[in-house]
Amino acid sequence: MSQTQIPFVTSETDLAVYLILSGINLLEIQYEPRSTSNGRKRGIFVFQANDKIPDFKNLYESGQASINMADWKKTKSDLLDRLMKELP
């Protein structure tokens, strides 16, 4: 199996938001069985495999990612809502 067929996973919410805004398909959110210190379960974002993910991740981590703040706020709010409700 080639690496491009393996879904990309991250627990970083901001990176997940950036990938969604970059057009990468979020397949699901999985949750760790144990809760964090604030009582919530930590979300693991599972994205469809895509050859562009390493490039997007590098742009994000280097601070060179270009984003629309209105889109960012809306997407992050929607994602946090899903996390709070523990939706897949």
Q: What is the pLDDT of residue 18?
A: 97
Q: DSSP for 15-80?
A: HHHHHHHTT--EEEEEEEEEE-TTSPEEEEEEE---TTHHHHHHHHHHT-----HHHHHHHHHHHH
Indicate the SS3 state at residue 10: strand
Domain 3-84 has CATH 3.30.70: yes
Q: What is the DSSP letter of 9?
A: E
Mean pLDDT over 17-25 rounds to 97
> What mean pLDDT comes out for the span 8-15?
96
pLDDT at 1: 44
pTM for the whole structure = 0.86
For the chain, give every domain's residue range.
Answer: 3-84
Residue pLDDT, tens place only, 31-55: 987 666 766 778 999 999 999 999 9
Look at residue 2 and tell me whether its pLDDT is greater than 50: no
